Amino acid sequence: MWAIARRPRWIAALVLALAVASGFAALGQWQLSRSVERPAATGQQTEHVRTLASIAKSQQPVRSAAVGQRVRFTATFVPGDYVVLSDRVNLAGPGYWVVGHAVTQDGSSIAVALGWAATRTVASSAIHTLAWDPPPRTVTGRFLPSESPQESDFEKGKHSALAVAELVNTWGTPPDGVYGGYVISADAPAGLGLIDSPPPSTEISLNLLNIFYAIEWVIFAGFAIFLWWRLVRDAWEAEQQAAGGEEGTPLDRRIAP
């Protein structure tokens, strides 16, 4: 069998099998590297306050490195564009968020979650107070990507998701440009509680599906080598059978009646 494996034909087949196995092994290594999900930014990075314009741009997708970043910017809140979001859970329990429409100094709009209230009445009362505070002010908070729109009762003015695309339709002042995320303010206005906004998780997690794919590619790589060995063995067995048949023919003829 070793003599057959050293023939040029089977040496070329071995080279091909090794090349295929190497490709499968590379794919397995790629899947294994993707199975380790690392956070886009560390806690030290996100807790260092940066300007909003340095991490995000209006009318542009939110980059993963910007998620959870603490930012600071100066903006003017539009008095008539405050909304109340229901079913928002805070450390104190479920309640309501007051969200404002802030216009930055360059004219771009961004949604700012200003504070939390236990009841809608308290949240609405805070909006009346905020409407009398139009001058520009400095906002410091955590930048997060927009949430997905949910079914809301628009006729009753009920909203539960902080979806930027949904809020734009409720703002009375059309924005020139809109950020794809929103900011949770680190300072709550009078009458509202702080919204819980912890730093993003820095723990490394494993994606079991990618690990399973990596194991599959390793099995395919081993199968490529096994297939070459099986073909060589089949060729060796065929030659053994052919040789045994040729040697047995004269003997059969001598003992035949």
Model confidence over 42-73: pLDDT tens digits? 545 788 899 999 999 998 999 888 889 999 99
Domain identity same for 232 and 199: no
182 vs 111: CA distance, rounded Å: 5
Task: Give the pLDDT mean for 146-169.
Answer: 77
Domain identity same for 137 and 196: yes
Q: pTM of the entire structure?
A: 0.63
The closest of 224, 197, 178, 202 to 88, measured between CA atoms, is 197
Domain identity same for 59 and 86: yes
Domain identity same for 187 and 106: yes
What is the model's pLDDT at position 204? Answer: 61
Q: Is the confidence at residue 256, as pLDDT, over 90? A: no
What CA–CA distances, in Å, run from 163 to 46, 103, 112?
22, 17, 12
Task: Give the pLDDT mean for 159-185.
Answer: 89
Give the confidence band of 121 by pLDDT, cuts at 50, 70, 90.
Answer: very high
What is the model's pLDDT at position 31? Answer: 85
Give the confidence band of 209 by pLDDT, cuts at 50, 70, 90.
Answer: confident
Domain identity same for 56 and 180: yes
Domain identity same for 8 and 115: no
Domain identity same for 185 and 115: yes
What is the model's pLDDT at position 102? Answer: 94
Q: How many CB atoms lie within 10 A of CB 109?
A: 23
Domain identity same for 10 and 98: no
Domain identity same for 193 and 176: yes
The closest of 213, 216, 220, 212 to 22, measured between CA atoms, is 220
Long-range Cβ pairs for the range 16-25 (8 Å, 24+): 17/224, 17/225, 17/227, 17/228, 18/224, 18/225, 20/221, 20/224, 21/221, 21/222, 21/224, 21/225, 22/221, 24/217, 24/218, 24/220, 24/221, 24/224, 25/217, 25/218, 25/221
Domain identity same for 112 and 236: no
DSSP 149: P
Q: Is the confidence at residue 141, as pLDDT, over 80? A: yes
**Average per-residue pLDDT for the chain:** 84
Task: Give the pLDDT mean for 126-153.
Answer: 82
Digit-coded pLDDT (tens) for 71-115: 999 999 998 899 999 989 888 789 999 999 999 999 999 999 999
Range of the domain at 219: 2-36+206-255
Q: Is the confidence at residue 205, as pLDDT, over 80? A: no
Give the confidence band of 254 by pLDDT, cuts at 50, 70, 90.
Answer: very low
Q: Is the confidence at residue 37, as pLDDT, over 80? A: no
Give the confidence band of 257 by pLDDT, cuts at 50, 70, 90.
Answer: very low
Domain identity same for 192 and 213: no
The closest of 230, 225, 227, 223 to 18, measured between CA atoms, is 225
Domain identity same for 126 and 55: yes
Q: Helix (H, G, I), strand (E, B), or coil: what is residue 234?
A: helix
Decide: 172 and 81 in contact? Cβ < 8 Å: yes
The closest of 35, 13, 25, 30 to 211, measured between CA atoms, is 35
Percent of the chain with pLDDT over 90: 41
Q: Choose one of 178, 203, 228: the last residue of a domain.
A: 203
What is the model's pLDDT at position 52? Answer: 94
177 vs 52: CA distance, rounded Å: 14
